[in-house]
Structure 1
Amino acid sequence: MIKKDWHKDIIYQIYPKSFLDTSGNGYGDINGIIQKLDYFTDLGVNCLWLSPVFESPMKDNGYDVSDYLKIDSRFGTNKDMYKLIDEAKSKGIKIMLDLVVNHTSDQHKWFQEALKGKANKYRDYYIWRDDKNEIESIFLGDAWEYDELSKQYYFHLFAKEQPDLNWENIDMRNDIYNMMNFWIDKGVSGFRMDVIEFLGKQPDQLITADGPNLHNYIYEMNRSTFGIRDCITVGESWSATNETAKLYTDPSRNELSMIFRFDHITTFWDEKLGKWNPRKFDLVKFKEILFDRQQKEKQKYWNTLFWGNHDLPRSSSYYIKDEYLDIGSKMMFGITSFMSGTPFIFQGEEIGMSNLPLSPEEYKDIEAVNALSMLQEEGYDKSLAIEMVNKISRDNSRTPMQWANVKNAGFSKVEPWTKINNKFAEINVSNQENKQESVLNFYKQIIKLRKEYIDLILYGDFEPLYINDKELFAYKRHDDENEIKIFANFSPDVKKISFDINQDDIIINNYKTNFFSYKLQPYQIIIVKEKT
C-alpha cells in the first residue's frame, strides 16, 4: 500500500440544511458552518464533506441541482462558500463537496433547453427514447417520463424531476469537468461522488449500474480534473463488491481515492421490499463482511469506515436498543475507529442523535412518501406501514443538529424546515461538552487515540477474533512496535468472556466502572494495549 497523507484524515459529513441557521430562514447555511469551525478542530476532524449546497428546487433535498456553479440562496452566496474554504484552510480543515452528476434537476438550464426540441444542442445531454422499457425508478414507479411536446420519454432513475444525464455525450462530460475544475480552482479539496455506479448506464440493454463504459468515464474524469490536482475523492456505490471496489480505487487505475460500499447493510434487505422490510441482524455475517474488507483488499482497496449518512436512518437507533443509545453510540464508533481506512462521522453521531418517528404529514423525503404508498399497496395496513417507514426513512438522519437545550435546539431562531428531535433537551452539544463521560467526549478520546497509533491502525496487521461469536465483536491490530485488542459486546445482555485482561492494560472503556469478572456489560467496549 502506497502511503498517502489523506489516509490520516477523519471526515465529518455536514448536512447543511440542518446544521446551523444564522440567517433566520429556517435552513442551515454556510455561515453557520464557518461559525462552528472551531467545533471541528476541537473534535479532531480535518475534512468536512458538505451535502449539496448548489442551487436546487429541493425536490430531493438538494440532490437535484439546477446550477452547479451557484450556491443556493437558502445556504448563502458563492462569496460565503469561498470564505468557508479559506477560513477552513487556515484551521487545517479541508472542504469536500457533494457532486451529483448522474442527473440534474429538471429546472437546470440544460434540461430546459433540451425541452425545446430534438434539434437543440442540449437534447442529447439527457436520455430520450420514443418508447419506454420496464426499468423502474429507485424512488419507485416508472423510470420514464413522457414529454408531450416532443412525443418522447426521458429517463430518470430517481424522481421525474431528476432527469439522468447522458454520459455518452462528450460535450456534456466536458461541461461537467469544467465545472469540477471551477470548484477545485476555488480551493475545494475533493468530491464525494453521488451514485457513481450509474454513470455508465445503458437503458436500452436494461443496464443501470456498472455499465461497460463506467470506468472509462471515471478515468477520463480523473485525468481531466481531480487526478492531476491532488484531491480526495470518494464514490458512492450501492452495487460495489470486493472486485468492483478495487476497480474504482486501485491507485494504478487512476480513478477514485476510495469508495462507499453498502453490502454490510444491503445483505440484510428483503428480496422484495428491500430496505423497508430488513431481515434480522446477524452479527456473524456483519463481521464477516467488515473483516473481509480489512484483510483481502488491503493492498489495493482503501476502506471507508462509516455507520450512517444522510441516506440511512440514525445508526444508533438501527443497531442499538433504545435504553442503551448513549453507551451503544460509543461502542459503535470505537469498533470502527481502529480499523484500517478513513472514518466518516455523520452530523450528530458524535452526540448520539437518534431516530425521530414522524407522521406521514411530516415526511419531507420523497422516498418516504413513495414507500408509504408502496407498502400499503403491498397489503400492509397504514399503521404498520408508517412504523416500517419510520424505522428506515432518510428523514431520521436529516433532523436539525441539536446544539443546546434552548428553543429549536439552538439550530434556528425561527421554525426549522423540518421537525426537531424531541430528545434535544437531553441530547445536545452544550450538555455534552463539559461532561467527561458524554458521547461527544468519548469521540474526542477515540480520535486522539487513533492519531497516537495512526501507523498501526492504517498499515498494521489485522487479525479477527471470535469470528463465529454471535454477540462479541473483537479483533487485534499489531505491528513490530504495538499490539491493540478491541473487545465489544454487541448486545443488550451481559456477555461472559473467556479471556484474561489486565485492568492496567485497558486504555478505553465506555463504562465508568472497571472491567472485571470476565464479563462485558451491554454494549460495552474495551480497548486493550498489550505491553511489548
Structure 2
Amino acid sequence: MKTKIISLLMATSLVSCSSTTLDSSQEQVSVQEQVRDNAASSTIESTLQLESIEIAPPASQLPAQWWEQAVFYEVFVRAYSDSSGDGHGDLQGLIAKLDYLEELGVTGLWLMPVTESEFNSNGYDVKDLRQIEQDYGSLEDFQQLIDEAHQRGMGVIIDWVVNHTSSANPIFQDALRNRDSQYRDWFIWSDRDLGWGRPWDPAAKVWHRTNGGYYYGLFFDFLPDWNYRNPEVIAYMKDSAKYWLNMGVDGFRVDAASHLIENGDGAQENQPENHAVYQEFRELIDHYPNAFIVAEAPFTDDDYLGDGSDEFHSVFCFKCSQMLMSGVKNGSKRGVHGFLKRADSAVAGANYATLLSNHDPFAGERAVTAMRGNHDKAKLAASLMLTGPGIPFVYYGEEIGMTAIDRSLVPWEDAVSRIPMQWDDSDNAGFTTAKPWRNINPDYRQVNVAQQVDDPQSMLSHYRQMIALRNQHLALATGEFELLETSGEHKAKTVAFVRHNAEQRLLVVANLDEQPLEVQLSLAGSAIASSQPEFARDVRTGERLGIDAAELQLNAALPAFGLKVYSLE
C-alpha cells in the first residue's frame, strides 16, 4: 500500500472557501504565525515527491464511459457518518453506508476534499497534498473505500484543489521565508499591492502583505494561488493526478476551474491560458480510459467543454439548475423548458452536469428549502432532473428532504447546507455518539433516513424509484432528447418530452400544477413518429394508453405535481 499522496484536488470558489476574512493589519501576522507554528513540524520533504510518476491505469470494473449513465452523489465526508466517536464524519463511516447508497441506486460518488487541510474552508485549504485528512482516517481506509465502492458498481471522483493551497503548506512557507527558495516562483509575488480586486468583488483585497513581499490569493489570505506560468507547477499537478488515478480513483471534480491564470485586474478568470492547461491535462486523462473530469465554472461553464474531446467531459450547469428550480417552484413551463433545452445543448462528445443544489449557496438552496417546504414540488424537480438530459448529481441528504439549518446555528452562511447527515431520530441523528463538530438541524427527529426507509410515499422512496428508472432504462440516461408541445386547456401547466435510443422510446409527461390535470399531446412530426407507436405503457404501473393511429395523439391523466414515464410500443 502506498503511504504518501500527492493530490491535486480542485480550485476552490469563494463560497467553497468560506471563513472570516482578515483585515490588512491581520494578514501579515496570521501568515507569519503559521510559519513559526508549523515550520518545526512540517517539512518540504514530507510534502513533495518530485520524481516523475508513471502512467499506470489500474484494471477497472466500471463500464466504458460509465459517467454518461451515472447518477452521482456528493458526499461531505466530515458531515456524513462518524465511525470513531470523535464527532467528525470519516471514511469508515462512509464505507459503512455504501450499502445504503447502493440501495439508493447511485453509481458515482463525488467526495469533497479528503486531503489534510487546516479546515478553514471545509477542506478546500489543502495543507498536505499527500496525506488523507487525519480526522477522516488513513490512506488504507481510502483505498478500502475505493475498492468497496467499485465492488458495488460505483465510480469515485474526488475534489481537485489546483488553483491554490493553504498558507500552512510547507511549500508555501518555504517560499515565504526565503526569497531565494526554489519554490518561490511556484506562487505569485509582487513588491507592492497592485490594487487588484476580485472579478465579482472589485473592492476585495487579493494581494496580501508579508515581510517578504505581497503574494496573490484570489479568495482569501490563507489561500495563496499557485503560479501556472511555471511549468514545474503544472508538472507537479500532473504527477499528482497520476498518483490518484494509479490508486484507482475514477476522476476529479474541479472547482472554480476558470481561475487558474491571471492577466491583470479584472482579467482573473477564463483567460485563454486556462484552456491550454486543461487541454494538456485532458491529454493525460485520456491515458486512463475510465477517468472522468467535471468542472465547476459558474459563469463560463460551456467554455470548458472545448470541442467535446479536448477539455472536460462535463461541466456543472448552474443555469440549468436555476431554470429548473424556478420553473417548478413557480409552475412555469417556460422555466422547465429552458432547463431541458439547456441541459441538452452540450457540445457533441460532452455533457452538462445537472443538480438541484450542492454545498455552495450560489448553486441554490437545498431543494425542500427552495420549495418553501413543499415536498411534492421538490419531488417533481428531482424527477425532471433524473429523466432529463445531462448527468445528475444528488447532494447528500437531498434524498430525504434535508433542509438548510437556521443561520444562527452555524458559523457562516455557506454552512447552512453543510451539516451532519440525519440518519435517525436518536441523539445526534445517528451521525455520531459524541458531540458533533457542527450543529445538527433540529428537524432531524422528523426528517431522517429511518423514518422514511419503509414509507412508500417518502422522499427517500421517491428518489429510489426515480433513480431505479434511470438505471433500468438507458434511454433516460444517454438517449436522444426531443421536447414535445402539449395542447388543450392545460397546456401552460404540462410538459412532455421523449428520450429514445435504438432499443427504446420513452415519453415523459409532467404536471406543474397543484391540481390533477390531463396532458394532451401529439407525436406527429416527432423523430419517433415513423415508428407509429400504438399505445403507451406506464413503465412503473403497467397502465396502457391508446394512441390515435391517424393523428398520433394521446391523453394522460397526471396527479398534482406528478410525472409519468411511458414506453411507446
2:434 to 400, 411, 414: 414
State yes or no: 1:239 paired with 2:299: yes
2:188 to 127, 135, 146: 127
1:290 to 339, 346, 368: 339
- State the TM-score, normalized to the length of structure 1: 0.81
Q: Percent identity?
A: 27
1:377-456 aligned within 5 A: 394-455=414-475
Find the aligned partners of 2:411 and 2:262 in 1 and give their Cα distance.
Answer: 29
Find the aligned partners of 2:91 and 2:203 in 1 and give their Cα distance.
Answer: 35
For 1:319, give the aligned amino acid.
A
1:45-444 aligned within 5 A: 45-129=106-190, 130-136=192-198, 142-150=204-212, 152-202=213-263, 204=264, 206-224=266-284, 226-230=285-289, 231-242=291-302, 244-247=303-306, 250-251=308-309, 253=310, 255-264=311-320, 283=332, 286-297=335-346, 299-312=348-361, 313-322=364-373, 324-325=374-375, 327-359=376-408, 362-365=409-412, 368=413, 394-444=414-464
1:488 aligns with 510
State yes or no: 1:36 paired with 2:73: no
Are the aligned partners of 1:303 and 1:341 in contact in 2 as well (CA < 8 Å)? yes
Find the aligned partners of 1:146 and 1:480 in 2 and give their Cα distance.
Answer: 58
Structure 2 runs not aligned, ≥5 long: 1-63, 523-533, 542-554
Are the aligned partners of 1:139 and 1:158 in contact in 2 as well (CA < 8 Å)? no
Residues 31-90 of structure 1: CA distance to partner in whole angstroms, max 9, x if unpaired?
101111111111111221110011111111101101121011111122211221222222
For 1:173, give the aligned amino acid.
I
1:520 is displaced (CA, Å) by: 5.3
Find the aligned partners of 1:336 and 1:294 in 2 and give their Cα distance.
Answer: 9
SS at match of 2:145: helix
Find the aligned partners of 2:377 and 2:442 in 1 and give their Cα distance.
Answer: 20
Find the aligned partners of 1:294 and 1:144 in 2 and give their Cα distance.
Answer: 35
SS at match of 1:228: coil
Find the aligned partners of 1:299 and 1:500 in 2 and give their Cα distance.
Answer: 29
Are the aligned partners of 2:315 and 2:353 in contact in 1 as well (CA < 8 Å)? yes
1:464 is displaced (CA, Å) by: 4.4
How many residues get paired? 473
Find the aligned partners of 1:441 and 1:24 in 2 and give their Cα distance.
Answer: 29
For 1:329, give the aligned amino acid.
A
For 1:234, give the aligned amino acid.
V
Find the aligned partners of 1:406 and 1:141 in 2 and give their Cα distance.
Answer: 47
For 1:165, give the aligned amino acid.
W
1:363 is displaced (CA, Å) by: 3.0
1:378 aligns with none
Change (3 A) 1:131 1:444: same
1:355 is displaced (CA, Å) by: 1.6
Are the aligned partners of 1:291 and 1:464 in contact in 2 as well (CA < 8 Å)? no
Change (3 A) 1:480 1:79: closer
For 2:193, give the aligned amino acid.
D
SS at match of 1:528: strand
Structure 1 runs not aligned, ≥5 long: 269-279, 369-393, 510-516
Find the aligned partners of 2:501 and 2:210 in 1 and give their Cα distance.
Answer: 65
For 2:565, give the aligned amino acid.
V
1:297 is displaced (CA, Å) by: 2.9
SS at match of 1:445: helix
Are the aligned partners of 1:234 and 1:258 in contact in 2 as well (CA < 8 Å)? yes
1:131 is displaced (CA, Å) by: 2.8
Are the aligned partners of 1:466 and 1:474 in contact in 2 as well (CA < 8 Å)? yes
Find the aligned partners of 1:456 and 1:142 in 2 and give their Cα distance.
Answer: 45
Change (3 A) 1:134 1:9: same
For 2:82, give the aligned amino acid.
D
Greater displacement, 10-19 / 294-303: 294-303
Change (3 A) 1:138 1:266: farther
Change (3 A) 1:52 1:305: same
Are the aligned partners of 1:463 and 1:477 in contact in 2 as well (CA < 8 Å)? no
Find the aligned partners of 1:140 and 1:20 in 2 and give their Cα distance.
Answer: 40
Change (3 A) 1:241 1:59: closer
Q: CA RMSD in A?
A: 3.0
Are the aligned partners of 1:484 and 1:527 in contact in 2 as well (CA < 8 Å)? no
1:476 aligns with 498
Are the aligned partners of 2:479 and 2:500 in contact in 1 as well (CA < 8 Å)? no
Residues 104-134 of structure 1: CA distance to partner in whole angstroms, max 9, x if unpaired?
1111112111211332222211122223223
Residues 478-527 of structure 1: CA distance to partner in whole angstroms, max 9, x if unpaired?
45554433333445x33655528999844459xxxxxxx987555x2221
Are the aligned partners of 2:485 and 2:521 in contact in 1 as well (CA < 8 Å)? no
Change (3 A) 1:267 1:429: closer
Change (3 A) 1:451 1:518: closer
For 1:219, give the aligned amino acid.
Q
Change (3 A) 1:108 1:338: same
Are the aligned partners of 2:70 and 2:107 in contact in 1 as well (CA < 8 Å)? yes
Find the aligned partners of 1:193 and 1:241 in 2 and give their Cα distance.
Answer: 12
Are the aligned partners of 1:245 and 1:301 in contact in 2 as well (CA < 8 Å)? no
SS at match of 1:80: helix
Change (3 A) 1:227 1:143: farther
- State the TM-score, normalized to the length of structure 2: 0.76
For 1:133, give the aligned amino acid.
G
Find the aligned partners of 1:473 and 1:67 in 2 and give their Cα distance.
Answer: 50
